[in-house]
């Protein structure tokens, strides 16, 4: 099966589908667990060590957090690889059991049983377990701490860290910033910690942590935002943010307050009027800043594509696990105006699922956000079937597309002007629908030139007819001979405006 979702999370009256992995750059919440230290107990079942995440971070260690389950096959396979054991032995805390005398002394490993219903005995190859988790290779007991928290603690950790599947393996830098590293080798684990900033050592040090403004802009004024962090040992009370484009300052922002060491804040800058997108350079500064190297972050903002009119079509091909995928189209007020989900059946190794296109008639000249979600967190592509999505307008132009993403992906587009108004087309109709022999298009014309087309859901024109100076009631027909069964769009265009109707050929 594609995913090992947290069935254990159902114990907390919350569906696993509400969880999503923490986004890179998130701040890790603190936790304390009582762990088994097998080297102190022959049975390996004595709670004899209390481990607090922030204690290790404050001491300058990068923490590798593995949240697994004793019934999880991929978890067990990674456990057997010895990657965490090797990383811990070579780089763990000096003087700790199992750590080399030549350790780099900058990494800590904590393993947590994420299923709060797991009994202690299960850790030692008890009922429901795959093997002896404290001694997986029968070569000696694991030396880094392994915890089997009570249900409440396990569920809190799962919720706070957005654990959506086992195993989830995070790297947590001393500044509390989280990133998922997956089932990496010992060498890759240690290489990854090189991107962590050094522990706070100077009184004043502000960092531009990440750009948080939208990377797609639709229309009008645009507001840059940036997440900053206090990497100084003293509270940060004031900072300024400058946003430049092409060397010219286009926006500014300020922070004031009292931000503790490693605390983060989002600074909202002044709007940029009539913003047309492009590259932005964001710089944050504070008095007596000890480290200018972490003061900047860059962002490239693209502008939304504009549809030919208010009609759009969502085409979707899921991967083999269709029920994981859902999507919405929301207006600028956040109201969902179109959506899809509940797809299936899951096809597993058999392939993927092509869903019926969804046509939406939206408000003209309006910005919309399309968001697609995958509850497993790996998009709708690649090893489980090369799925994907497109949003096309009535002319067949692509407004957004994708399929390779994590938990979710957002795209912004803008609708064009309304289709033909009532003075140009009255009682536009397509019949019969479904059609078998002919597709008939009837409309009223008011002394204009017209183009009438039959378009497939990929935006390809199957047939088209053009007319000049039409007046009064019109009837245009297309033969379905040689046309494949399926869904089509009839488009009627005049004076640069287009209106559409859907039709099914059978």
The HSE-up count of residue 27 (CA atoms within 13 Å, CB side) is 16
Do the two domains 206-303 and 306-414 of this chain adopt the same fold? no
**Bridge partner residues of 63 (DSSP):** 108, 172
**How many Cβ atoms sit within 10 Å of the Cβ of residue 83?**
21
Q: What is the pLDDT of residue 44?
A: 43
Summarize the chain as % helix, strand, coil (round to 5). 15, 45, 45
Structure tokens at 332: 């600028």
CA distances from 229 to 46, 199, 204, 426 (A): 39, 13, 11, 60
Closest listed residue to residue 60, CA positions, set 83, 94, 95: 94
Q: For domain 429-505, give the CATH superfamily.
A: Macroglobulin (MG2) domain (2.60.40.1930)
CA distance 458 to 315: 8
CATH of 306-414, one of 1.10.3470, 2.60.60, 2.30.30, 2.30.240: 2.60.60
Q: For domain 7-195, give the CATH superfamily.
A: Glutaredoxin (3.40.30.10)
Q: What is the pLDDT of residue 20?
A: 56
Domain 206-303 grouped into CATH 2.60.40.10? yes
**Bridge partner residues of 146 (DSSP):** 36, 111
CA distance 307 to 312: 8
Q: Which helix (H) or strand (E) holds 188?
A: helix 186-192
**Positions of the chain with pLDDT under 50:** 1-19, 39-40, 42-45, 422-425
Q: What is the pLDDT of residue 427?
A: 58
* Residue 68, C-beta contacts closer than 8 angstroms, at least 6 positions apart: 75, 78, 79, 111, 112, 113, 114, 166, 167
**Within its chain, how far is the Cα of 71 from the centroid?**
27
Say whether pTM exceeds 0.75: no
Closest listed residue to residue 197, CA positions, set 208, 189, 188, 186: 208
**DSSP labels, 99-124:** --TT----EEEEEEE--TT--GGGGB
Let me know how long the chain is.
506
488 touches 502 (CB < 8 A): yes
> Is the bond into 167 cis (omega within 30 degrees of 0)?
yes
The residues spanned by each domain of the chain are 7-195, 206-303, 306-414, 429-505
CA distance 466 to 76: 66
């Amino acid at each position: 099966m594609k995913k090992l979702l947290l069935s254990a999370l159902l114990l907390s009256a919350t569906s696993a589908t509400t969880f999503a992995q923490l986004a890179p750059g998130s701040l890790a919440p603190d936790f304390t667990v009582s762990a088994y230290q097998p080297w102190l107990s022959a049975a390996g079942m004595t709670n004899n060590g209390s481990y607090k995440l922030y204690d290790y971070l404050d001491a300058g260690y990068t923490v590798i957090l593995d949240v697994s389950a004793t019934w999880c096959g991929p978890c067990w396979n990674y456990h057997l690889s010895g990657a965490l054991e090797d990383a811990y032995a070579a780089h763990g805390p000096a003087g700790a059991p199992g750590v080399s005398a030549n350790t780099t002394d900058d990494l800590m490993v904590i393993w947590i049983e994420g299923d709060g219903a797991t009994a202690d005995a299960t850790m030692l190859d008890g009922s429901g377990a795959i093997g002896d988790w404290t001694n997986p290779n029968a070569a000696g007991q694991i030396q880094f701490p392994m915890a089997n928290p009570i249900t409440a603690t396990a569920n809190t950790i799962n919720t706070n860290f957005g654990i959506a599947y086992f195993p989830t393996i995070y790297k947590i830098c001393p500044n509390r910033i989280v990133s998922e590293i997956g089932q990496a080798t010992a060498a890759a684990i240690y290489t990854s910690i090189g991107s962590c900033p050094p522990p706070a050592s100077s009184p004043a040090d502000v960092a531009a942590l990440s750009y948080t403004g939208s990377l797609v802009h639709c229309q009008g004024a645009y507001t840059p935002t940036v997440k900053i962090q206090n990497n100084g040992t003293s509270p940060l009370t004031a900072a300024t943010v400058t946003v430049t484009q092409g060397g010219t300052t286009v926006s500014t922002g300020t922070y004031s307050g009292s931000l503790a060491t490693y605390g983060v804040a989002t600074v909202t800058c002044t709007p940029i009027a009539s913003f047309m997108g492009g590259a932005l350079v964001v710089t944050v500064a504070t008095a007596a800043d000890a480290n200018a190297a972490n003061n900047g972050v860059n962002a490239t903002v693209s502008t939304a594509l504009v549809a030919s009119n208010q009609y759009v079509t969502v085409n979707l091909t899921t991967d083999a696990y269709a029920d994981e995928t859902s999507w919405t189209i929301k207006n600028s007020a956040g109201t969902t105006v179109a959506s899809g989900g509940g797809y299936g059946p899951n096809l597993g190794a058999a392939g993927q699922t092509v869903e019926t296109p969804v046509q939406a008639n939206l408000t003209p000249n309006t910005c919309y956000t399309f968001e697609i979600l995958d509850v497993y967190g790996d998009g709708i592509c690649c090893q489980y079937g090369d799925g994907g999505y497109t949003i096309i307008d009535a002319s067949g132009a692509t407004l957004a597309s994708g399929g390779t993403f994590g938990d979710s992906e957002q795209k912004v587009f803008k609708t064009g002007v309304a289709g033909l108004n009532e003075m140009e087309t009255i009682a536009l109709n397509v019949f019969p629908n479904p059609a078998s022999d002919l597709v008939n298009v009837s409309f009223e014309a008011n002394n204009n030139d017209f183009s009438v087309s039959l378009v497939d859901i990929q935006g390809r024109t199957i047939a088209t007819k053009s007319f000049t100076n039409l007046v009064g009631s019109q009837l245009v027909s297309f033969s379905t001979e040689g046309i494949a069964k399926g869904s089509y769009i009839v488009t009627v265009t005049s004076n640069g405006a287009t209106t559409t109707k859907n039709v099914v050929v059978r």
